[in-house]
Homo-oligomer: A and B are copies of this chain.
Amino acid sequence: MKYLHTMVRVNDLDKSLEFYCDKLGLEQRGRYDVEAGRFTLVFLSAPGNEDAQVELTHNWDPEELDEGRNFGHLAYEVENIYDVCQRLQDNGVTINRPPRDGRMAFVRSPDNISIELLQRGEALPIQEPWASMDNVGHW
């Protein structure tokens, strides 16, 4: 038995690929445009960790993608949590839970999928501007 992927639905595929790939750092592993079913599937995963994927499902006909409480978040380990948060913030992503402790942060995808970032190994030394940055919204 093997974990394959977590599927999330996305309303705007370009905006989602920009978020998950250009900003967060995942890479595209496959894309299937299914004309008959009017949907596109895109499989993403972290560099060097190709097996554990996220599947983006984009239904071509608009739908409301509300969030529920039974799903929590996706979590990724990163090499340097400050660098990732800086890159996300520089590209317009709100850091909902800044890495004040040098260890953990939360952001959200364009469709409000909560994403946890965890520092690989030990926490980094506490550092501004993160140390005194407030939470924004929920995650």
- Are B8's CB and A72's CB within 8 A? yes
Q: Is A133 an interface residue (CB 8 A)?
A: no
A72, B75: Cα distance in complex, Å: 16
Binds B, one of A42-50, A92-100, A122-130: A42-50
Interface string of A1-20 (1 = CB under 8 A from B): 11111111100000000000
Decide if A78 is an interface residue (CB 8 Å cutoff).
Answer: yes
Q: Give the interface centre of A46, A69, A72 by most chain B CB atoms within 10 Å.
A: A72
The main secondary structure of chain A at its interface with chain B is: strand
Given B4, B7, B57, B67, which contacts A68 in the complex, CB threshold below 8 Å?
B67
Copies per assembly: 2
Could you tell me the distance between the alpha carbons of A9 and B77 in the complex, rounded to whole angstroms?
21
Chain A, interface size: which category? 35 or more
Q: In the complex, are the beta carbons of A77 and B1 less than 8 A apart?
A: yes
Query: Do A2 and B49 have beta carbons less than 8 Å apart?
Result: yes
B75 touches A69 (CB 8 A): no
Q: Decide: A55 and B68 in contact? CB cutoff 8 A.
A: no
Chain B residue numbers with a CB within 8 Å of A34 are none
A112 touches B46 (CB 8 A): no
Pairs across A and B, CB under 8 Å, 23 listed: A1-B48, A2-B52, A3-B52, A3-B54, A3-B76, A4-B75, A4-B116, A4-B118, A6-B73, A7-B74, A7-B75, A8-B72, A9-B69, A9-B71, A57-B72, A65-B69, A66-B69, A66-B70, A67-B71, A68-B70, A70-B71, A70-B111, A71-B113
